[in-house]
Structure 1
Amino acid sequence: MFAFSVLFCQLFHTWAHGTKSKLPSLVVGLQDIGLLVSRVHHVNHHRAPYNNNYCVVSGVWNKVLDESKVFEAMEMVLYFKMGVRPRSWTESNSEWMEETDIFKC
């Protein structure tokens, strides 16, 4: 299951951006029962401060990982090791911001 999730995680993420009417009914069903992340649950990943909801397969771990600040710690490690500043540390920039109006449900 892990290998399947890794191989197809970008496809699952893409489906989280799709409208229900354009997705296969099986995908919508898997999103509805929480096995795949839905648009409703994924939208917060694309809203300021851009530092939460990183789990794009099912989202089941988002709450635990966000509350324990796992991703904030990973951002710090990347910054100190590679000098890469995460987007959540800066003001929003229209060059990289995604249009979030499409996520209104």
Structure 2
Amino acid sequence: MGFVGMASGCIMFSQQFHAWAHGTKSKLPPLVVALRDGGVLLSRSQHAAHHRPPYNNNYCIVSGVWNRFLDENKVFEALERVVFFKLRRRPRS
């Protein structure tokens, strides 16, 4: 139960952090603005890269701390290949 509770909480909050990445500073709580300005949460401009073609980078939509490392090492490209070979679903990129 502890694992399920913790995992559910993390999923729920990650979706909220992602939603805040779409918001403007004037519509966000001051704490969220401070976390974005401090680089803890993804800024609006950083998040925009997640929504631009070719859609093969910037998958980390909460803080973005790992984006550079994962993109340079093509981690998500490898995962896309696994999904393609297992499910025959082509990636958007």
Structure-1-length-normalised TM-score: 0.77
Distance 1:34 1:3, change over 3 A: farther
Q: Give the number of aligned pairs.
A: 88
Q: Which residue of 1 aligns with 2:66?
A: 61
1:11, distance to aligned residue in structure 2 (A): 0.6
SS at match of 2:70: helix
Sequence identity (%): 65
Once structures 1 and 2 are overlaid, which stretch shifts more, 6-15 or 68-77? 6-15
Query: Does residue 1:22 correspond to 2:27, yes or no?
Result: yes
> Can you give the 5+ residue segments of structure 2 that lack an aligned partner in the other structure?
1-5
Report matched runs for 1:24-103 at 5 Å. Answer: 24-88=29-93
Conserved? CA contact 1:13–1:57, under 8 Å: yes
1:5–1:57 Cα contact (<8 Å) kept? no
2:41 aligns to what SS in structure 1?
Answer: coil
TM-score (norm 2): 0.87
Select the structure that is richer in helix.
2
**Take 2:61 and 2:10, find their aligned partners in 1: how far apart are those partners?**
10
- Give the letter for the 1:41 counterpart: Q
Gaps of 5+ in 1: 89-105
